[in-house]
């Protein structure tokens, strides 16, 4: 069935007047994507702070839940995921800068 459906070749490429319009559109989207990514990382950081506070104040079986091994392990996994997202966002930010962010501190 797919062999009967088709589009002209000029509709399949993202060209605009001989230039690569698709790449230009992706470059324009980059800063917006970075903004949303950094907001998400910030919200995740705040959620981690709230979770830590809750673990320090809430008690079960006579001790703070932060002292329970399983929850501490979950917290560590969350911390790693947030840090990974933060570093990926930073990498994206550097790639959006001219010359790959040369001259910026690492």
With a cut of 70, list the residues of the chain below it in pLDDT: 1-4, 9-30, 99-106
At residue 66, the pLDDT reads 83
At residue 68, the pLDDT reads 81
At residue 80, the pLDDT reads 96
At residue 39, the pLDDT reads 93
**pTM above threshold 0.85:** no
Phi and psi angles of residue 6, each rounded to the nearest 5 degrees, phi first: -165, 170
Give residue-wise pLDDT tens across range 38-68. Answer: 999 999 999 999 999 998 899 988 888 888 8
């Amino acid at each position: 069935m797919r062999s009967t459906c088709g589009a002209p070749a000029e509709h399949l490429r993202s060209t605009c007047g001989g230039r690569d319009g698709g790449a230009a559109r992706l470059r324009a989207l980059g800063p917006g994507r970075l903004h949303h990514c950094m907001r998400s990382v910030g919200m995740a950081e705040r959620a981690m702070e709230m979770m830590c506070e809750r673990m320090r104040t809430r008690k079960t079986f006579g001790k703070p839940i932060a002292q329970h091994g399983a929850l501490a392990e979950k917290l560590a996994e969350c911390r790693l995921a947030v840090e990974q997202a933060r570093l990926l966002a930073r990498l994206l930010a550097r790639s959006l800068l001219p010359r790959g962010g040369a001259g910026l501190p690492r």
